[in-house]
Amino acid sequence: MKKSKKIWALFLAAVLIFTVVGCSSNETAGGDDTTTGTEDFKVGVIHIGDPAEGAGYTFAHDQGIVQMQQALGLSDAQIIRKNNIADGDAVATRTAIEECIEEGSKIIFGTSWGYMDTMEEMAEEYPDIVFSHASGYKSNGKNFNNYFGRIYEARYLSGVAAGLKTETNKIGYVAAMGQDNSEVTGGINAFAMGVESVNPDAKIYVKVTNTWFDPTLEGQAAEALLDLGADVITQHQDTTAPQLAAQSRGVWSVGYNSDMTKDAPKAHLTAPIWNWGVYYTQAAKAVMEGTWTAENYFGGMAEGMVDISPLSENCAEGTGEKIDEAKAKIVDGSFKVFEGELYDNQGNKVCEEGQVLTDGEITGAMNWYYRNVIVE
């Protein structure tokens, strides 16, 4: 993938090719035969936070935008960013999208869950603009799709690191949303299964904040879990607050979205991370060429969409070998995280022997916690 990106960027620079921006069928955005030069092509992106903070969810997304920009040879002026747009504020979301359109964006990426409904509405109002939404489930088959990935694969591997490190067998998990949110719940379960694979005695204690981005609440939730005796803290949140709480108490942590070692060097073990540039480059390139279709995207470790950050020196001995072994099986397809006989924490069988849960079930219908998960 990296090699193909470089070839594409050199190709653009060498021959200054002009590309066609979407037009022809009900599967692609646009309704005319106009041609847009590369220098006129603009990309809009709506962020819930500020990438300048240098860690977490928004930072990871924006790193993907930067990768796309470099791969396609776009200038800074061709990237229209709208930062700190609260995803629960439909008016602010609409305003940000309208500004992206007014400034010439041909494709707009909405990087947070709560933008979904507004983007769906505006896709109908602006049929010549491509709207692409992260982490949701809606699409219209024309100019609006969603994109996400198998982050649960990386979660599983990070659980291996946590399971090998804990001494109290209590691991704290600061969760953005409760059991009814399958994205968060799937991540918790995959992490818990990774822990169990190397340490069947450990338990995962979950504390829900009901927010995606609130450093104060995230820090307080982490402190509460530490007070229970957790000696490893992980999270499905957008900031480094849980990592900092763990470091301040002299215990360990597993981050999320980006490598958080620099933020909590004495605590951090590893982190499930996103390589969003894989999708952003593919999608923007397709719009430039007029080949974009409204298919939803769901990439995994094999596609380079997700991974874990390099293991820190804080990890237990043997962690690298265990993770490498599991990762190789995930990448070659010989191991699926959610397969075989599985039970929830109420004793119910949720997956049969020989069965593999689909991505749709994992991301849209996983409303149960794995057997070693306890809710606080």
Could you tell me the residue ranges of all domains in the chain?
Answer: 2-149+275-299, 151-271+311-375
Long-range residue pairs from 346-354, CB within 8 A, at least 24 positions apart, any chain? 347/371
Q: Which top CATH class is 151-271+311-375? A: alpha beta
Tokens found for residue 241: 């607050």
- Scan for tokens 């380079």, then name that residue: 304
Residue 55 pLDDT grade (very low, low, confident, very high; cuts 50, 70, 90): confident
**Residue 293: closest CA among 301, 302, 303, 282:** 282
Residue 363 pLDDT grade (very low, low, confident, very high; cuts 50, 70, 90): confident
Q: Which residues of 3-26 are buried (b: 16+ CB within 10 A; e: fewer)?
A: eebeeebeebeeeeeebbbbeeee
Residue 68 pLDDT grade (very low, low, confident, very high; cuts 50, 70, 90): very high
pLDDT tens sequence across 84-130:
999 999 999 999 999 999 999 999 999 999 999 999 999 999 999 99
Task: Say if 2-149+275-299 and 151-271+311-375 have the same CATH topology.
Answer: yes
Tokens found for residue 352: 């049969």
**Assigned superfamily of 2-149+275-299:** Response regulator (3.40.50.2300)
Instruction: Note the pTM of the prediction, 2 decimals.
Output: 0.85
Query: Does residue 155 contact residue 130 with C-beta atoms inside 8 Å?
Result: no
Query: Does residue 257 contact residue 43 with C-beta atoms inside 8 Å?
Result: no
For range 360-367, the mean pLDDT: 90
Instruction: Say what the pLDDT of residue 340 is.
Output: 97
In a 10 Å sphere around its CB, with 0-12 CB exposed, 13-18 middle and 19+ buried, how is residue 335 labelled? Answer: middle
Largest CA distance in the chain: 64
Helix extents (H) in the chain: 2-15, 56-72, 90-102, 116-125, 151-165, 182-198, 215-227, 241-248, 277-289, 319-332, 359-364
Residue 21 pLDDT grade (very low, low, confident, very high; cuts 50, 70, 90): very low
Instruction: Say what the pLDDT of residue 17 is.
Output: 34
The CA-based angle 318-319-325, given to 5 degrees, is: 95
Percentage of the residues of the chain whose pLDDT score is greater than 70: 90
Average pLDDT, the chain: 90
